[in-house]
């Protein structure tokens, strides 16, 4: 992979989001909010911070909400303008900054994450690109996780996969990598497997939803047959990429919340509230009260 700047980011958001049913009957998982912004907005901001100006959303035909969210909201803007609500108007206008374009590609059938990424092939062309899974929310006071990875990819020319250590018994929920010794935050990946049982997992280093990938991945995805769960797995195409090009595991700086699970979404909400300028104190008070009340109940 050549050391090019990463300009394009892919957001696969065509999954069914079954873990959040019944809410996800009508609200896509990526539109669930942390405080006042949907998950997709956090991922988009992270991609823009990393230097991306072309955002490719892989949606399904039922997910109008994501496209609507990034579209101009004429009527709402007019109403806010007339009501003199300038602060709110700015918030609505700046979901995407000027100079950033959003492209929507439909994944006709939910055939898996690998298939969703392959749907972006024509838009990406022959350049390295980023993939962000919005339900992995990564919080950091300094540079965002994707910016850290894009800089590292540009410096080394290798593809980058975000990783973090998970409890050994949790390997069955993740792609798991085996690497050479780490040099700083990076270690070259020797093997990658999708959702291995703990007894056969090569490590407890798990893939989380940030990738910087060589465009070679598209050819490999085209040759990938359905794997774990009958889906076309991105992990399987990355396994094939390892044989041809360097792919590094990247231990990003930041805290990741798995907002694809109930407890992860709750944890993220609490952490963002505690870090929020206006909400921090009332949230702390509310939590203390709630815990106190539970404590009283437990003694009954």
Is there a contact between 123 and 55 (Cβ–Cβ < 8 Å)? Answer: no
Specify the DSSP element, H or E, that contains 300.
Answer: none
Q: How many residues sit close enough to ligand UTP to count as binding (CB under 6 A)?
A: 20
Interface with ligand UTP (CB under 6 A), residue from 100, 111, 178, 270: 111
Interface with ligand UTP (CB under 6 A), residue from 6, 10, 13, 130: 13
Q: Binding to ligand UTP (CB under 6 A): which residues in 188-207?
A: none
Is there a contact between 8 and 48 (Cβ–Cβ < 8 Å)? Answer: no
Of 245, 221, 171, 194, residue with least CA distance to 58: 221
Is there a contact between 280 and 273 (Cβ–Cβ < 8 Å)? Answer: yes
Site string for ligand UTP, 239-268 (x = CB under 6 A): ---------------------x--------
Q: Which residue is nearest to ligand UTP (CB)?
A: 15
Does residue number 27 form part of the binding site for ligand UTP (CB under 6 A)?
A: no
The SS3 of residue 243 is coil
Comparing CB distances to ligand UTP, the nearer of 113 and 161 is 113
Does residue number 18 form part of the binding site for ligand UTP (CB under 6 A)?
A: yes
Does residue number 214 form part of the binding site for ligand UTP (CB under 6 A)?
A: no
Strand 54-59 to 8-12 pairing: parallel
Distance CA(212)–CA(267), nearest Å, equals 27
Interface with ligand UTP (CB under 6 A), residue from 9, 31, 50, 58: 58
Interface with ligand UTP (CB under 6 A), residue from 10, 80, 96, 107: 107
Work out how close the CB of 46 gets to ligand UTP at its nearest, in angstroms, rounded to a whole number.
14
* 3-state DSSP percent of the chain in helix, strand and coil, to 5: 40, 25, 35
Does residue number 110 form part of the binding site for ligand UTP (CB under 6 A)?
A: yes
Work out how close the CB of 135 gets to ligand UTP at its nearest, in angstroms, rounded to a whole number.
6
Beta bridge partners of 164: 206
Q: Which residues of 92-128 are buried (b: 16+ CB within 10 A; e: fewer)?
A: eeebbeeebebebbebeeebbbbbbbbbbbeebeeeb
Does residue number 2 form part of the binding site for ligand UTP (CB under 6 A)?
A: no
Does residue number 17 form part of the binding site for ligand UTP (CB under 6 A)?
A: yes
Work out how close the CB of 172 gets to ligand UTP at its nearest, in angstroms, rounded to a whole number.
13
Question: At 29, phi and psi to the nearest 5?
Answer: -50, -40
Comparing CB distances to ligand UTP, the nearer of 263 and 274 is 263
96 backbone φψ class: left, alpha, beta (φ>0; ψ -120 to 50): beta
Comparing CB distances to ligand UTP, the nearer of 109 and 199 is 109
| Interface ranges with ligand UTP (CB under 6 A) | 12-19, 29, 58, 107, 110-113, 115-116, 133, 135, 260
């Amino acid at each position: 992979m050549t050391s090019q700047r990463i300009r394009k980011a892919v957001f696969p958001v065509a999954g069914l989001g079954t873990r959040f049913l019944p809410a996800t009957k009508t609200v896509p998982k990526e539109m669930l909010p942390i405080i006042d912004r949907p998950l997709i907005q956090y991922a988009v901001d992270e991609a823009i911070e990393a230097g991306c100006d072309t955002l490719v959303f892989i949606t399904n035909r039922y997910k109008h909400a994501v496209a609507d969210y990034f579209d101009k909201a004429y009527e709402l803007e007019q109403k806010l303008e007339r009501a003199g609500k300038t602060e709110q108007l700015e918030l609505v206008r700046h979901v995407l900054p000027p100079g950033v374009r959003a492209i929507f590609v439909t994944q006709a059938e939910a055939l898996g994450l690998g298939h969703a990424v392959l749907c972006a092939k024509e838009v990406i062309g022959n350049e390295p690109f980023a993939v962000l899974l919005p339900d992995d929310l990564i919080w950091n006071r300094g540079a965002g996780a994707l910016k850290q990875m894009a800089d590292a990819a540009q410096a080394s020319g290798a593809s980058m996969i975000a990783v973090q250590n998970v409890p050994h018994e949790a390997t069955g929920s993740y792609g798991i990598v085996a690497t050479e010794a780490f040099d700083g935050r990076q270690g070259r990946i020797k093997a990658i497997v999708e959702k291995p049982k703990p007894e056969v997992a090569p490590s407890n280093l798990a893939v989380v939803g940030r990738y910087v990938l060589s465009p070679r991945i598209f050819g490999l995805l085209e040759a990938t047959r359905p794997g774990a769960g009958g889906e076309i797995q991105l992990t399987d195409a990355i396994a094939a990429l390892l044989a041809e090009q360097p792919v590094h595991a990247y231990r990003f700086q930041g805290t990741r919340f798995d907002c694809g699970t109930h407890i992860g979404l709750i944890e993220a909400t609490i952490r963002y509230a505690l870090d929020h300028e206006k909400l921090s104190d009332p949230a702390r008070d509310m939590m203390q009260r709630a815990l106190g009340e539970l404590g009283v109940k437990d003694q009954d």
